[in-house]
Amino acid sequence: MSSGLVALLDDVAVIARAAAASLDDVAAGVAKAGTKAAGVVVDDAAVTPSYVTDFTPDRELPIIWKIAKGSIRNKLLILLPIALLLSAFLPVAVTPILMLGGLYLSFEGAEKILEKLGGARHGETLEDEIADAAAFEKARVAGAIRTDLILSAEIMAISLAQVEHNPIWVQAAALAAVGVVITAAVYGAVALIVKMDDAGLHLVKESKSAGARALGRGLLRAMPIVLQLLGSIGTLAMLWVGGGIILHGLAELGLAAPEHALEALSHAVAAATGPLGAVLGWLAYAVGAALVGLVLGAIIAVVVHLVTRSKAH
């Protein structure tokens, strides 16, 4: 009996060690994948506030919560199974699908810029008289979730590339963990950003400290500028992420010259600018990718508006 019990305990110890090693693999995969996806996470955080600005304060957090739930569904119920299936059975389809997403992001970014330059607006905006506030909010949330789907696809694709040599269950666990952590981080940050003005107002009205009231006034003055800046960064993010996806996809499909040319420009700028080389080199690549996204997105936007106009007639 005692020898049997010892053998059983040995088996349990072996299983526990194997499980711990597997969890280490998942944790390492999550850390590696999350680091690689950090750039797209920043873009996601910059894009999202534009979907909740100018709503009444009582609707900001509910809207962010709706978008966050949609983001989780995007990552766990749509993208995770698709990523695993494509990785296992049709890996060649991943790049073209991502490129279609890049074109959509480029279209969204280019359309926003064309609207700012006086072009025709596509759908209702907050500057219009809104007949049905609930329907408008639903449409705004749906638009945010669509954009999140593309950014999340890029996050999941980058993450999958870091763990593709692991067993499929490790891939699934790592991608699910990355999806949950990144969604919480992005939408938690967005919630903090859009509620900064409420925090400032509370400090001004309720605080007995002169310093706290001054901080509150500073937050109130800064928030319109911050939100406007984030809106502009969000538009640019759509363009540089979309353009970057397209350039990288072309390279994967055998047309590497455009991406290599932009990388060469980035390296040249980095080498010529000394201590600021890393930042300016990255900026050169981002601007080049954004220009690619802007040109392609503008072409698509013009075609979409022409088709819409012809259907209207």
- Neighbouring C-alpha atoms within 13 Å toward the C-beta of 122: 22
**What's the mean pLDDT in 54-69?**
80
Q: Are 58 and 197 in contact (CB under 8 A)?
A: no
- % of the chain at pLDDT higher than 70: 76
Q: Is the pTM of this model over 0.85?
A: no
Task: Average the pLDDT over 205-229 and give the result.
Answer: 82
Mean pLDDT across 34-54: 54
Is 70 exceeded by the pLDDT of residue 76? yes
pLDDT band for 40, please (50, 70, 90 cuts). Answer: low
Q: State how far the Cα of 192 lies from the Cα of 181, in Å rounded to an integer.
A: 16
**CA 221/CA 197 separation, integer angstroms:** 8
| Residue the block writes with tokens 């059975």 | 89
Confidence of residue 290 (pLDDT cuts 50, 70, 90): very high
Stretch 279-307: mean pLDDT:
91
Task: Dig out the tokens for 251 from the structure.
Answer: 């390279």
Least confident among 199-203, 268-272, 303-307: 199-203
Q: Give the mean pLDDT of 240-269.
A: 91
Contacts of 189 (CB under 8 A, 6+ apart): 45
Q: Higher confidence at residue 20 or residue 173?
A: 173
Could you say which DSSP state residue 49 is in?
Answer: G
Residue with tokens 């389809």: 93
Q: b/e string for 272-305 if b means 16 or more Cβ within 10 A? A: eeeeebeebbebbbbbbbbebbbebbbebbeeee
pLDDT of 48 strictly over 60: yes
Say how many C-beta atoms besides its own lie within 10 A of residue 76's C-beta.
18
Nearest CA to 245 out of 163, 159, 153, 176 is that of 153
**Radius of gyration from C-alpha coordinates of the chain:** 23
Residue 137, CB-side half-sphere exposure with 13 Å CA sphere: 17
Query: 1-15, pLDDT tens digit by residue?
Result: 445 444 544 544 444
